[in-house]
Amino acid sequence: MHPIVRTVLQRLGLGLLTLFIVSIVIFSALEMLPGGFAEAILGQSATPETVAAFNKEIGLDRPAIVRYVEWIGGILQGDFGTSYAGAGGNIKRHVSDLIAPRLYNTFFLAIMAAVIAVPLALTLGVLAALYRNSLFDRIVNSVTLTTIALPEFFVAYVLMFFFAIKLRWFYSLSTVSESTTFLEHISRAALPAITLTLVIIAHMMRMTRAAIINLLASPYIEMAQLKGIPRRRVIVHHALPNAWAPIVTVVAFNLAYLVVGVVVVEVVFVYPGIGQMMVDAVSSRDMPVVQACALIFAATYILLNLSADIISIITNPRLLHPR
Amino acid sequence: MSTEKKRTKGEILLEMKDVRIEGFSDDKWHQIVKGVDVTLKRGEVLGLIGESGAGKSTLGLAAMGFARPGCRISGGSIVFDGIDLLKSSEEDLRKLRGSRIAYVAQSASAAFNPAHRLLDQTIETALDHHILDRGKAESDARDLYRRLRLPNPDTIGSRYPHQVSGGQLQRAMTAMAMSCRPDLIIFDEPTTALDVTTQVEVLAAMRDIVEQFHTAAIYITHDLAVVAQMAHRIMVLRYGKEVEEAPTREMLKSPREDYTKTLWAVRKLQMHERPSDDIVLRVHDVTASYGGEITVLEHVTVQVPRGRTVAVVGESGSGKSTLARAITGLLPPLSGEIYFDGKPLPRTLRERDKDMLRRTQMIYQSPDTALNPRQRVRDVIGRPIQFYHGISGQACDRKVVELLEQIELGESYLDRLPGELSGGQKQRICIARALAAEPELIICDEVTSALDQIVQEEILKLLMRLQEETNVSYLFITHDIATVQAIADEIVVMYQGKVVQQGPKSQVLSPPHPAYTELLLSSVPQMDPDWLTQLLAARSARSTRVPA
């Protein structure tokens, strides 16, 4: 077996182990939250009897261990359980049915933002390194730093004001439903995607620039210059291939943020993503939904970091082509 | 090649006049090269020699119209084949570089880009400057690999730099420089990082190829014996100025300047061996490995007499430094015993008590990395005094001053930081730090390799004097035979983790030798300009091979 395949399998195994530990942490943390779904839904005037009856109805009277095993067992079979909302009624609302469309929306927005932000950030980073300390470099740095320093909601409202209200290019509200077509979805998600791009671009761009500049003092860069290689090619062909490891780590970190950290942007644009759903579920103590969301977020982080590790390995010839 | 036609030997190719180069440090521009004239004819090889800081590399790069970041060419003129390099645009210079003037760097392993295959890097300039198309360039590169006697010339190009050895990389870099058939190649200490046994092959390959294509070259080095093999003429530089210049044979026979003569003198330092049976350290049948896969030491037995110097010689990878790590306990051996004063030492560092640790100290190759840059001399030397002898405060300071005087520095150095010291002074501080523990054995791991020859001699003399005064033993790890001749009582020759030969210096250095010792000794460059030619002739006659 190629050592890389072994490493990847090892990391994957470790990732699963991490996910298992995370599931325990999530479950216990939610157990420790004061108040339960019954209190939240029945209000302050609920008698202990009604609360107990309600808890029995949704199975909360059983020991935590039993419920955990049941939950994790279900997940292993692809069943995320049923939402507490609607419990007791005739219609059982499966968590997966609740989450699936929201998750689709979230990934749609995340991928859209990533497709704009990652190439843009890398290009700007390379150009900033190429024209280091020039006016261009300074402008790119200060603009990206400004957009990351401003609160997301502020950036969102400014964009909304100019592009939706003044210029009328995009929608100010990003309401989408299952009947929305793909192209329609893109145009409705445009403003949130641009907002997110502005938020994450600085980090990636500055890391690209720094990682490249860090290598410019290497003897092989000087050698390339002395070989008469044009400066652009020196940066792109000689520095960049050796700079991937730190860059992809930062890219993975920011992509994870696109999935798990966009609740503010979702709220501002009324975009039906998973972040908003999780916040709602927490305030109503709808634990199965919260747990499922948290687990998905954890899996996203683990997978993205795993991919970053793998890319770091395969872009390093020392690891890819051992002696 | 089209350029070959207009190549007539003897015509002036490069003319540098009153070249001045400045470097920026401490908020000021300082002159590094202070008005040097260089004239180079086509097909001629000029050797530039001097200590580090003499401005050799800076001058060599200036011949390409290049100044390192933080440096600038501030005066004079540099005319290459009728082109005034100082008046040319950056774009015109770029087109010259790689195609008409090429560069071979000191450390090939650092100068090759780790991310690309050798062949792609070899032909990069030829393709980028549209000199050859890919097919022609690739077949030409393979031809160059063959001429430079690289193993598997047809396939070695598809390897990555980390997959080939240092000597092979250095030859691949020469092929890279040759790929556009330049008129001039700058060799910047190309064999300094190589073992002597590898150096011979690389030198021979480079000399042949330069001759084959009538390429002019500037050969920069600090090793006179090496430059004697390569250059037609030698120029000695010191403090950015020319000391003298003469044809090689003339220069070797009768150097005019005192400074040049001191460069010769170093080679003559020699000490007579002093036999002794009082063994302080005995390494018995030690086998060690990193991670268990490949054994780096195999059944090594070595003895160090009290108050004597045992030199361990061998090329890189022979296990010299691993032996030091095993003795100090940093790398517990897999099997075998280490006796100190007749008593067995525990295998690991952790099991040894303070007094056992005190008795063995180390001095490292690079004083730059062995000294904490944020610690003052007072703390560097004071720490072992406090740690091993429990002396602190003023008594400790007095002891530090005593040690400073012993190493020929003085009280004024107490509050200096390592950054405020020269390379030789830093190595002296490392020696004082080792002495502060009052050890019985000091392991010196290539302690003079990073220093200039004149400084080397001073350090060696200091070490010998300290041995007379304190009766300390040295285990002196080195790859430099001249150093061994200078200071050793006994010699241990190592090859691939095994001891090939050991004994008193006179015995090891006089024939008959085992095959590897023979190869090692015969590979040490001699001042004779015909040494390399004769050696190669002798080797091919006997077809002596490197022992596998």
Nearest in space to A82 (alpha carbons), one of A99, A66, A107, A64: A99
Number of CB atoms found within 10 A of residue A38's CB: 21
Q: How far is residue A141's CA from residue B116's CA, in Å, rounded to a whole number?
A: 31
**Which segment of A79-93, A209-223, B9-23, B146-160 scores lowest on mean pLDDT?**
A79-93
Query: What pLDDT, in 10s, does the model give residues B461-519?
Result: 899 999 999 999 999 998 888 888 888 999 999 998 899 999 998 888 888 888 888 88
Backbone angles phi, psi at B245, to 5 degrees: -145, 135
Query: What pLDDT, in 10s, does the model give residues B518-532?
Result: 888 888 888 888 889
Contact A228 B95 (CB under 8 A): yes
- Kindly state whether B125 is in contact with chain A, defined as any CB-CB distance less than 8 angstroms: yes
Does some domain include residue A295?
A: no
Question: Is residue A14 helix, strand or coil?
Answer: helix
What would the 3-class secondary structure string for B346-402 be?
CCCCCCCCHHHHHHEEEECCCHHHHCCCCCCHHHHHHHHHHHHHCCCHHHHHHHHHH
How do strand B294-305 and strand B83-84 relate by DSSP bridges?
unpaired
Domain of residue A162: give its range.
Answer: 96-278
DSSP structure string for A80-144 = --B-STTTTSS---BHHHHHHHHHHHHHHHHHHHHHHHHHHHHHHHHHHHHTTTSHHHHHHHHHH
**CATH superfamily label, B279-372+437-510:** P-loop containing nucleotide triphosphate hydrolases (3.40.50.300)
- Kindly state whether A13 is in contact with chain B, defined as any CB-CB distance less than 8 angstroms: no
Query: What pLDDT, in 10s, does the model give residues B164-182?
Result: 888 889 889 999 999 999 9
As a dihedral over the C-alpha atoms of residue A122, residue A128, residue A130, residue A134, rounded to 10 degrees, the angle is 170
How do strand B441-445 and strand B360-363 relate by DSSP bridges?
parallel
Name the residue of chain A whose CA is nearest to B63's CA.
A226
Does some domain include residue A264?
A: yes
Does some domain include residue A314?
A: no
pLDDT cut 70: percent of chain B above it:
96
Does some domain include residue A136?
A: yes
- Kindly state whether A323 is in contact with chain B, defined as any CB-CB distance less than 8 angstroms: yes
Q: How far is residue B7's CA from residue B464's CA, in Å, rounded to a whole number?
A: 54
Q: Is the model's pLDDT at B263 over the cut of 80? A: no
Q: How far is residue B368's CA from residue B268's CA, in Å, rounded to a whole number?
A: 28
Q: Is the model's pLDDT at B1 over the cut of 60? A: no
Does some domain include residue A228?
A: yes
Confidence (pLDDT) at B268: 65
| Rounded mean pLDDT, A46-72 | 82
Q: Tally C-beta pairs within 8 A across A and B.
A: 78
Nearest in space to A195 (alpha carbons), one of A131, A243, A248, A267: A267
Of A219, A233, A242, the CB nearest to B107: A219
Amino acid at B42: R
| Test mutation, A212, A226, A236, A320, chain B, max B CBs within 10 A | A226
Comparing B191 with B429, which gets the higher pLDDT? B429
Which of A196-210, B252-266, B448-462 has the highest mean predicted lDDT (pLDDT)? Answer: A196-210
Q: Are A153 and A160 in contact (CB under 8 A)?
A: no
- Kindly state whether B114 is in contact with chain A, defined as any CB-CB distance less than 8 angstroms: yes
Q: How far is residue B460's CA from residue B269's CA, in Å, rounded to a whole number?
A: 9
CATH number at residue A149: 1.10.3720.10
Q: How far is residue B442's CA from residue B68's CA, in Å, rounded to a whole number?
A: 39
Comparing B235 with B198, which gets the higher pLDDT? B235
**CATH superfamily label, B2-268:** P-loop containing nucleotide triphosphate hydrolases (3.40.50.300)
Q: How confident is the model at residue B117 (pLDDT cuts 50, 70, 90)?
A: very high
Confidence (pLDDT) at B267: 60
Mean pLDDT rounded to a whole number for chain B: 88
Query: What pLDDT, in 10s, does the model give residues B422-467?
Result: 888 999 999 999 999 999 999 999 888 878 777 888 889 899 999 9
Confidence (pLDDT) at B7: 53
CATH 3.40.50.300 positions along chain B are 2-268, 279-372+437-510
Name the residue of chain B whose CA is nearest to A234's CA.
B113
Backbone angles phi, psi at B392, to 5 degrees: -140, 180
- Kindly state whether A315 is in contact with chain B, defined as any CB-CB distance less than 8 angstroms: yes
Query: What pLDDT, in 10s, does the model give residues B333-347?
Result: 999 999 999 899 998
Q: Is the model's pLDDT at B292 over the cut of 70? A: no
**Which segment of A134-138, A213-217, B81-85, B509-513 scores lowest on mean pLDDT?**
B509-513
Confidence (pLDDT) at B270: 74
| Test mutation, A227, A237, A244, chain B, max B CBs within 10 A | A227
Name every residue whose Cβ is closer than 8 Å to that of residue A13 and which is 6 or more positions away in sequence.
none
Distances in whole angstroms, Cα of residue B134 to Cα of each of B22, B126, B164: 40, 9, 23
Q: How far is residue A124's CA from residue A116's CA, in Å, rounded to a whole number?
A: 12
Contact B114 A229 (CB under 8 A): no
pLDDT cut 90: percent of chain A above it:
33
For A107, how many CA atoms within 13 A lie in the half-sphere containing its CB? Answer: 9
Confidence (pLDDT) at B5: 44
Comparing B526 with B543, which gets the higher pLDDT? B526
Of A218, A233, A321, the CB nearest to B163: A321
Note the helical H segments in B148-265.
166-178, 196-212, 224-230, 248-253, 258-265
Q: Is the model's pLDDT at B6 over the cut of 70? A: no
DSSP code at position B450? T
| Rounded mean pLDDT, B395-414 | 90
Does some domain include residue A41?
A: no
Q: How confident is the model at residue B266 (pLDDT cuts 50, 70, 90)?
A: low
Q: Is the model's pLDDT at A311 over the cut of 70? A: yes
Confidence (pLDDT) at A172: 78
| Rounded mean pLDDT, B192-218 | 87
Ramachandran assignment for B408, one of left (phi > 0), alpha (psi -120 to 50 degrees), beta (any other): left
How many domains, chain A? Answer: 1
Does some domain include residue A303?
A: no
| Rounded mean pLDDT, A254-272 | 87
Asked casually if ipTM beats, i.e. exceeds, 0.90, the reply is no
Nearest in space to B498 (alpha carbons), one of B290, B288, B340: B288
Query: What pLDDT, in 10s, does the model give residues B46-89?
Result: 999 988 778 888 999 999 999 988 889 998 999 999 999 999 99
- Kindly state whether A229 is in contact with chain B, defined as any CB-CB distance less than 8 angstroms: yes
- Kindly state whether B295 is in contact with chain A, defined as any CB-CB distance less than 8 angstroms: no
Q: Is the model's pLDDT at B142 over the cut of 90? A: yes
Q: How far is residue B241's CA from residue B34's CA, in Å, rounded to a whole number?
A: 6
Q: Is the model's pLDDT at B45 over the cut of 90? A: yes
**Residue B76 Cα, gap to closest chain A Cα (Å):** 21
Mean pLDDT rounded to a whole number for chain A: 87
Does some domain include residue A57?
A: no
